Amino acid sequence: MTKILNLEPEGYSPKARSVLESFATVDEQRLSRRAMLNAVGDYDALIVRLDYTIDREVFEHANNLGAVATATTGLNHVDTEAADKHGAEIICLRGEREFLDSIYATAEHTWALLLACIRSLPDATTHVERGGWDRDQFKGHELHGATLGVLGYGRLGSKIARYGTAFGMDVLSHDPNVSEGEYATFVDFEELLRESDYLSIHVPYNDSTEELIGPSEFELMKPGSYLVNTSRGEIIEEDALLESLEEGQLAGAALDVLRGEYTDERDWTESDPLVEYAATNPNLIITPHVAGATHESMEKTEIFIAEKLAAYFDA
């Protein structure tokens, strides 16, 4: 019988578990790196979210591994070349456009980050909790009439553009693979940077998008503008972002992703420059890659991936 190891079982959907148990023996346990390497050879499939790096070393220990399942679109945490060499299928959400169109969590969180940043919501909340009631410290900005730039007009970018129109914003977009859309006017990359009061990033991470936003791009951006990134940390050159915030070129930024999150170091946030800056500067808000983490979205995606696993093993 097929054997599956779910390495991140916390909060896992009971419905998805039932799908898996209909065709496989399922073990659920969070393991250390060493324990995982020792155990993985006994399993036909692994299930992970984002806390484990499934790299070449894992595949070298996984004699029977036929599939790695991850309910994500990004695959930074899985060595795709090693998987291919090993003959293991990567079962994920990438390319599942019809299904993903029904998932709104990341788009909604993007908008929450934008509003939290321009209205200083975290600091205003802390201010009241500490006994304050001085609204003049927290004057924000209105979105109505401002220009929203959407970098990438796929399933998420198009949702963000639609939200922008609902808020009465002028919406611009740039996507090398898309030339028109219902909710945005399409412009070239440099014009998007120059004209946007708020820039939201929704491009996939690959060789062509790594550090797509760097020093020269920040220089092009409108002084006093804001940036939101719920895509992948590697798309932004983080040193350049920090410099832009420190010098005031950007008025603020809100991030759900950082380059360092895929390191094997457990305490990486303690020395991350952006995390350190955010601790004492209200113009940077960081959340721990939670954009897609709602009860509804995680249940839907886990059931979807479990059903794909069942189909893969011909259950």
Overall average pLDDT of the 194-203 stretch: 98
Residue 68 has a pLDDT of 97
Q: 2-95+295-312 is classed in which CATH architecture? A: 3-Layer(aba) Sandwich (3.40)
Q: 105-286 is classed in which CATH architecture? A: 3-Layer(aba) Sandwich (3.40)
Instruction: Report DSSP letters for 40-80, one per residue.
Output: GGG-SEEEE-SS--B-HHHHHH-TT--EEEES-S--TTB-H
Check pLDDT > 60 for residue 42.
yes
Its pTM stands at 0.90
**pLDDT confidence tier of residue 74, bands split at 50, 70 and 90:** confident
Mean pLDDT computed over every residue of the chain: 96
Q: How far apart are alpha carbons 274 and 252 in whole angstroms? A: 12
Residue 1 has a pLDDT of 86
Residues belonging to the chain: 315
Which pLDDT tens digit goes with each residue over 1-32? 899 999 999 999 999 999 999 999 999 999 99
Which pLDDT tens digit goes with each residue over 264-306? 787 999 999 999 999 999 999 999 999 999 999 999 999 999 9
Domain ranges of the chain: 2-95+295-312, 105-286
Residues known to be catalytic: 232, 261, 289
Residue 315 has a pLDDT of 55
Which is higher by pLDDT, 94 or 263?
Answer: 94
